[in-house]
Structure 1
Amino acid sequence: MPLLVVGISVLVLLLLMTKLKLNGFAALLLVAVGVGLVRGIPLEKIPDVLSEGIGGQVGDTMLTIGLGAMVGRVMGDSGAAQRIAGKLLDAFGPRGVQVAMVVTSMLIGVTMFYEVAFIIIVPIAFTLVRVTGAKLLWVGLPMSIALSTMHSFLPPHPGPTAVAATFHASVGLTLFYGLFIAVPVGALIALVWPRLPFVRAMNPSIPPGLVSERVFEDEEMPGLGWSLGVALFPVVLIAGAAVTDMATSGSSPFLHFVAFIGSAPIALLLTLLLAVWAFGPRIGRSLAEVSASCNSAAQAMAMILLVIGAGGAFKNVLVEGGISDYIKDQTHGWSISPIVLAWLIAVILRVALGSATVAVVTASGVVLPLLAGGGVHPEMMVLAVCCGSIAFSHVNDPGFWLFKEYFDLSVVEAIKVRTTYTTVLAVLGLGGVLAVERALDVLSL
């Protein structure tokens, strides 16, 4: 049974990494090869499947994570991250640091991918941890939860946008309805989860090389305008491109240019160039010093990228092994509410494959025939699928490894924290979708 293979492979991976202490990169590749053999992928094709999985995952994330880490380290080594962190503390106070993280993450995360926003905000979270003496998860976990919610629930992120096209739903209405669900649900989980006893018992350290250890005096730091300007520069470019894409149609050189500079890699590359000048020669730091900051960030990212790439290989083996087709066949014809069915299929696919994109695309294809006769608003179907796709993030999800490595957690700790919060988000999200659908039905009477 394909789902049994998935379950056993996850257990083997946990055994290799927790009991045998095998490196995550090697463990993921080893398990991926085993799954490929069990699922009948020809021997000569397994290396290509692994390479495609690694290439696709690293290709999607290396530019984003690498450039974002360099921007963050340049800001940290110049004192810009400390300047922003200090102003957040002034505005919200030490007791409001979690609220500051949630507000900042939700505003930035509306239009930015989880990985991009994570890489941009995490230096500020690290600096707040160092300045306040708070625990890393106390500050960083609300950020991650808020970003996960925005990325999974709302257009213009790729999953919700793709599903909206499948269901012929209004992207604008999906975003409007989704905000009523995502903001309260995400904020609730973000503020509750760090307070749970099993989370408070964990006390990981900031991984070395990702943040400056220096504490700056006020006169040594760049001004708030430059610090915020550089931090928000990619947000403006990416958000501007997303809004332009939703508000316009057709094709023109100007729209192509906006899409180009608003793509995450180009936006971050331009931000890095701006940061190099703004926090280098402009304030009297040599280019050699700025280059050293970039090199330090790249070295710290090496193992993180390897593990994320291996997670992509594992995911690709599961996809090529026919897991998604099996689930699609098994769920065909289930007689339950279209909203619940869409959510449930997305959850099953997410658990089995780890890929939120595969989960939402497959789930939407399965339930699309039910939409015509189901009397359900298409925007609610979009949100149901997207809520389901966030559930049970675990070892076959490359985002799981980004979370684990940046917060310096063991595999078991990361499962306890991330797998649980993503699952609760999915369940509460479904409740929100059903509530909004009911309200829309009442208003239409």
Structure 2
Amino acid sequence: MPLIITALGILVLLVLIMKLRVQTLIALAIVSCLLAFALGMPLDAIVPAIEKGFGATLGGVGLIFVFGAILGKLLADAGGAQQISATLIERFGESRVQLSVMITAFVLGIALFFEVGLVLLIPIVYQIHRQTQKPLLYLALPMITALSVTHAFLPPHPGPTVIASEYQASIGMVLIYGVIVAIPTLLLAGPLFVWLIKRTAPQLLVIKSVGDVTSLGEVKELDRAQLPGFGISAITAALPVLLMLMATIIKFMQEAWNIENNLLFNAIEMIGKPTMVMLISVLFAIFSMGVMRQRSMKELTASMETAVRSIAMLVMILGISGSFKEVLLQGGVGDYVKALFEHSAISPLLLAWLISAMIRTAQGSATVAALSTSAMVLPLMESSQVDPALMVLATGAGSVFLSHVNDTGFWLIKESFGLSIKQTFATWSVLETLISVFGLVFVLLLSLVV
């Protein structure tokens, strides 16, 4: 019965968002209340549960989300992202331009949110398309694959970070395992997929109209002489990952050599926390992309305020998704799933992927899918020996399954590249499904050796 009630709740959510055009934040709040009542929660416990889920989620990842947006905006406005992309494309040359676009998107995708990465890279892809006369999607699909892979698997992106917080997983291990899973997934879902399309259905790569990228926002196009150096730009973009890796490696060494905790190790552990990592990275970006570029503090403040305003609604949706998760948890859905699969031979990793993929397909939001899944599988994890970091990646893989018409990303890609509905399904939807399936396969393979 709890699963039927949850399915009906998701159906109501779909009707509210797709049919009645209710804003996602309000729709999630309504459905959270209805689900809590339907699951039999006491009336005086419903509002505290919603508030607890909202506060706990934003308390864990809200600042990470905000600092990430600020970092991306500072990097973009100073021309650092433009310098990284231009340099990598020059170094690889025209014959390997697809590879250069993909690597550029992967490097920038670590530091930038998916939408910000699109804003920066789509104009560059259009420019390369005009210069080389290569099909636009031949260049664009590997690029959006790289952005989607980093979004699904790598901290400090909000999805993997918030799920790691829910599963009590080491953020450093999620990052290390995430890179191991992301790279082969990227190669298979990106260049190999495009290669197959080119040989089996080349008409899908032909675009008849120019896409409209104005809805994504504007990026300043600077002269090459005005851009910061490649080295400082790359360090600024990669600093969050470098700090988390440093903290994780030092933690490994401490455990391997049985060194007791002291002030130094405690300080390193604190620096390796995602919120602190992002704060340090933002401070460094203010210096490297601001002070060193002789940009005024007024100008930097304007960039930061714009970044925060642009993600305000996304932050609120992230928080109310936490409320939805908390209702499922307190409503007993997780305990029911635990009882249902306690003596089953199915892997918790596969179960997390299945639940996440089904919720994603039903309602479109990767964030809601991931957080709802965590509520259902958390009780199951308590009785299993599965690695929490792998559970994060399996859930993340499921949360990007089959993007279609109920996902804003579907329409974003369609309009940005001037695709038809058929082309968007045959390229973007298939691509997201491949990322999800290949991601699961590599997570399961990794589970055999860790």
**TM-score, normalised with respect to structure 1:** 0.73
Relative to structure 1, is the Cα distance of residues 5 and 255 closer, same or farther in structure 2, using a 3 angstrom cutoff?
same
Q: Distance in 2 between matches of 1:320 and 1:200?
A: 50
- Deviation of 1:294 (Å): 0.7
Match of 1:11 in 2: 11
Q: Distance in 2 between matches of 1:286 and 1:199?
A: 44
Query: Which residues in structure 2 correspond to 1:151-230 (within 5 Å)?
Result: 158=164, 183-191=183-191, 205=213, 208=216, 212-230=218-236
Relative to structure 1, is the Cα distance of residues 367 and 258 closer, same or farther in structure 2, using a 3 angstrom cutoff?
closer
Q: Distance in 1 between matches of 2:57 and 2:166?
A: 20
- Deviation of 1:150 (Å): 5.3
Q: Distance in 1 between matches of 2:50 and 2:263?
A: 38
Aligned residues of 2:108 and 2:237 also touching (Cα < 8 A) = no
1:79-110, Cα deviation, whole Å (9 max, x unpaired): 1111111112223456756644655677899x
State percent identity of aligned pairs: 22
- Deviation of 1:280 (Å): 2.4
Match of 2:132 in 1: none
Aligned residues of 1:25 and 1:306 also touching (Cα < 8 A) = yes
Match of 1:375 in 2: none
Match of 1:432 in 2: 445
1:365 to 378, 382, 393: 382
Match of 2:325 in 1: 315
Q: Distance in 2 between matches of 1:271 and 1:180?
A: 24
Match of 2:144 in 1: 140
Aligned residues of 1:76 and 1:82 also touching (Cα < 8 A) = yes
Match of 2:246 in 1: 240
Match of 1:333 in 2: 343
* Counterpart amino acid of residue 286 in structure 1: S
Q: Which runs of 5+ in 2 are unaligned?
A: 127-135, 360-368, 416-420
Aligned residues of 1:185 and 1:428 also touching (Cα < 8 A) = no
Match of 1:128 in 2: 121
Match of 1:296 in 2: 306
Aligned residues of 1:63 and 1:265 also touching (Cα < 8 A) = yes
Secondary structure of the 2:22 match is: coil
Q: Distance in 1 between matches of 2:214 and 2:326?
A: 31
Question: Which shows bigger deviation, 15-24 or 417-426?
Answer: 417-426
* Counterpart amino acid of residue 119 in structure 2: F
1:354 aligns with 2:360: no
Match of 1:268 in 2: 278
Aligned residues of 2:326 and 2:375 also touching (Cα < 8 A) = no
1:51-85, Cα deviation, whole Å (9 max, x unpaired): 11111222222211111111111121111111111
1:420 aligns with 2:433: yes
Aligned residues of 2:53 and 2:326 also touching (Cα < 8 A) = yes
Query: Number of residues paired by the alignment?
Result: 398
Aligned residues of 2:119 and 2:219 also touching (Cα < 8 A) = no
Aligned residues of 2:167 and 2:374 also touching (Cα < 8 A) = no
Match of 1:343 in 2: 349
- Deviation of 1:25 (Å): 0.5
Q: Distance in 1 between matches of 2:407 and 2:266?
A: 34
Secondary structure of the 2:122 match is: helix
Relative to structure 1, is the Cα distance of residues 181 and 226 closer, same or farther in structure 2, using a 3 angstrom cutoff?
closer
Question: Which shows bigger deviation, 79-88 or 129-138?
Answer: 129-138
Question: Which shows bigger deviation, 124-133 or 325-334?
Answer: 124-133
Relative to structure 1, is the Cα distance of residues 383 and 239 closer, same or farther in structure 2, using a 3 angstrom cutoff?
closer
Relative to structure 1, is the Cα distance of residues 358 and 160 closer, same or farther in structure 2, using a 3 angstrom cutoff?
closer
Q: Distance in 1 between matches of 2:384 and 2:312?
A: 41
- Deviation of 1:345 (Å): 3.5
1:287 aligns with 2:297: yes
Question: Which shows bigger deviation, 97-106 or 325-334?
Answer: 97-106
Q: Distance in 2 between matches of 1:329 and 1:40?
A: 18
Aligned residues of 1:71 and 1:272 also touching (Cα < 8 A) = yes
Secondary structure of the 1:213 match is: coil
Question: Which shows bigger deviation, 128-137 or 415-424?
Answer: 415-424
Aligned residues of 2:17 and 2:27 also touching (Cα < 8 A) = yes
1:325-372, Cα deviation, whole Å (9 max, x unpaired): 0011111223x3xxx43334434554577336556644443444xxxx
1:29 aligns with 2:8: no
- Deviation of 1:241 (Å): 0.7
Aligned residues of 1:149 and 1:425 also touching (Cα < 8 A) = no
Q: Distance in 2 between matches of 1:199 and 1:32?
A: 42
Aligned residues of 1:36 and 1:46 also touching (Cα < 8 A) = yes
Relative to structure 1, is the Cα distance of residues 388 and 284 closer, same or farther in structure 2, using a 3 angstrom cutoff?
closer
**TM-score, normalised with respect to structure 2:** 0.72
Aligned residues of 1:307 and 1:401 also touching (Cα < 8 A) = no
Q: Distance in 1 between matches of 2:206 and 2:28?
A: 29
Relative to structure 1, is the Cα distance of residues 386 and 278 closer, same or farther in structure 2, using a 3 angstrom cutoff?
closer
* Counterpart amino acid of residue 146 in structure 2: P
Q: Distance in 2 between matches of 1:383 and 1:261?
A: 20
Relative to structure 1, is the Cα distance of residues 319 and 104 closer, same or farther in structure 2, using a 3 angstrom cutoff?
farther
1:105-128, Cα deviation, whole Å (9 max, x unpaired): 77899xxxxxxx353686455322
Secondary structure of the 2:382 match is: helix
Match of 1:77 in 2: 77
Secondary structure of the 1:280 match is: helix
Match of 2:63 in 1: 63
Q: Distance in 2 between matches of 1:305 and 1:186?
A: 27
* Counterpart amino acid of residue 389 in structure 1: T
Match of 1:86 in 2: 86
1:128-154, Cα deviation, whole Å (9 max, x unpaired): 2122226776623322224534569x9
